Amino acid sequence: MRNHRSSLGTLLHHVHVSGPLSRAALAERMGVNRSTILALTAELVASGLVREEYPAATHGAGRPSLVVRPESERVYVLAFDVAVDRVVAARVGLGGPILDRREAARPRAGVDLDTVVGKLAGLGRDLVDAAPPGSVCVGLGASYCGMIRPGDGMVRYGPEMGWVDQAFGAELGRALGAGLPVFVGNEAHLGALAEYKRGSGVGFPDLIYLHGDVGVGGGILVGGKLLGGEAGYGCEVGHMLVNPFDGRPCLCGSRGCLEAETGEHALLAEAGRPPDLAGRDAARAVLRDAAAGEPAATNAVARIGDWLGIGVANLINLFNPAVVIFGGTLRDLYAVTAPHVAARICQHAMPVSRERAKLRLSGLADDATLIGAADLGFAALLADPLPLPARDC
């Protein structure tokens, strides 16, 4: 029985990640015969999780094979993303499409748990109210820009918001009143997993994802598994020490951390911008000015690129990744600093460690963390799809 249920979950997982697949492709991937696929698919169709149909475009003569397609419009999760400057809520369908979304700006300072939870719950309820009749919410997932205790969604430390031991997952679950738990993960951890499943990391089980917001987060996959550490707080690459002697102070209390040297504050300060200036638009303006050859911005980009390259060189020496992916605001930064980053990698990473390492921009752009949160929400369904929880979130 357990085997059967896990086979249902495996089949559903394949179409969730890869999209429509023929019975033959599913049989090959799962190592079972086609009649088993037929039986499993029939159960999932009866439950409204997948449907079978002819592919939209076919080539060649003869009748095309049916494909198994996830019921993306009907079966969804609510996904939430708490970033430094914004909060996002989305209805994400089985198979990964973002069906609907709501977004709100949030101030950086003085934002307490109740305010954030209240805002997110309001956005979530709006999404559910706007969902088509007959849709089913099967889970809730959230991404948070801080260190999250696995299991209960407790924010142990959120440096940008000053949160320590805040019961974010539990409170959001209560505010939504859906009778479903909210699974919470660190934004960069979730971004790494999302890029591996659907973005620039597909096919690379040994990858490093670097997520820029105001600071820098990291997610490291080894053999396709997230390197969580002893208690789930691993991969804090933003606090890797790169400049201990005259480094900039970091929010963590140390100085010279990678994020202190490469984050938004460092970029604006190096470019000589006013000390009260902040925000993604201001950082982008520096990058634009550097591309146009403005001297202070050009020097800032060179220095920040140096530090970023030193950090990545350390990671390449340590983990020998197949790919390093730059996400969030690091997409913008890497696009401008790539030559500096490459020079430092060449100088500091050992040839044997770096020779196959690719450097890529995030394929999911600003939605990597949100898509990762959605996958947290889908995890229970994919582990054991039946019976489908017919709850109205």
Report if residue 242 touches Zn ion, rule: CB under 5 A. Answer: no
Report if residue 244 touches Zn ion, rule: CB under 5 A. Answer: no
Report if residue 254 touches Zn ion, rule: CB under 5 A. Answer: yes
Task: Kindly indicate which of the ranges 149-157, 191-199, 249-257, 341-349 contains the residues binding Zn ion, using the contact rule CB under 5 A.
Answer: 249-257
**Shortest gap between Cβ of 41 and Zn ion (angstroms)?**
50
**Shortest gap between Cβ of 117 and Zn ion (angstroms)?**
27
Whichever of 84 and 373 has its CB closer to Zn ion, that residue is 84
Task: Kindly indicate which of the ranges 193-201, 250-258, 262-270, 342-350 contains the residues binding Zn ion, using the contact rule CB under 5 A.
Answer: 250-258
Rounded distance, CA 25 to CA 27, Å? 5
**Shortest gap between Cβ of 18 and Zn ion (angstroms)?**
38
Whichever of 252 and 269 has its CB closer to Zn ion, that residue is 252
Binding pattern for the stretch 256-295 against Zn ion, x by CB under 5 A and - elsewhere:
-x--------------------------------------
**Shortest gap between Cβ of 58 and Zn ion (angstroms)?**
55
Whichever of 223 and 253 has its CB closer to Zn ion, that residue is 253
Whichever of 115 and 254 has its CB closer to Zn ion, that residue is 254
Query: What is the 3-class SS of the chain, one letter each residue?
Result: CHHHHHHHHHHHHHHHHHCCEEHHHHHHHHCCCHHHHHHHHHHHHHCCCEEEECCCCCCCCCCCCCEEEECCCCEEEEEEEECCCEEEEEEEECCCCEEEEEEEECCCCCCCHHHHHHHHHHHHHHHHHHCCCCCEEEEEEEEECCEEECCCCEEEEECCCCEEEECHHHHHHHHHCCCCCEEEEEHHHHHHHHHHHHCCCCCCCCEEEEEECCCEEEEEEECCEECCCCCCCCCCHHHCECCCCCCCECCCCCECEHHHHHCHHHHHHHCCCCCCCCCHHHHHHHHHHHHCCCHHHHHHHHHHHHHHHHHHHHHHHHHCCCEEEEEEHHHHHHHHHHHHHHHHHHHHCCHHHHCCCEEEECCCHHHHHHHHHHHHHHHHHHHCCCCCCCECC
Total binding residues toward Zn ion, as defined by CB under 5 A: 5
Residues in 48-77 at the binding interface with Zn ion, rule: CB under 5 A: none
Report if residue 240 touches Zn ion, rule: CB under 5 A. Answer: no
Whichever of 252 and 386 has its CB closer to Zn ion, that residue is 252
Task: Kindly indicate which of the ranges 61-69, 237-245, 316-324, 374-382 contains the residues binding Zn ion, using the contact rule CB under 5 A.
Answer: 237-245
Report if residue 250 touches Zn ion, rule: CB under 5 A. Answer: yes
313-316-318-319 Cα dihedral, nearest 10 degrees? 160
**Shortest gap between Cβ of 251 and Zn ion (angstroms)?**
6
**Shortest gap between Cβ of 148 and Zn ion (angstroms)?**
17
**Shortest gap between Cβ of 17 and Zn ion (angstroms)?**
34
Among 252, 277, 278, 380, binds Zn ion (CB under 5 A): 252
**Shortest gap between Cβ of 329 and Zn ion (angstroms)?**
17
- Alpha carbon 276 to chain centroid distance? 30
The two beta strands, 225-226 and 323-328, are unpaired
Among 91, 211, 239, 354, binds Zn ion (CB under 5 A): 239
Whichever of 68 and 266 has its CB closer to Zn ion, that residue is 266
**Shortest gap between Cβ of 71 and Zn ion (angstroms)?**
44
Binding site for Zn ion (CB under 5 A): 239, 250, 252, 254, 257
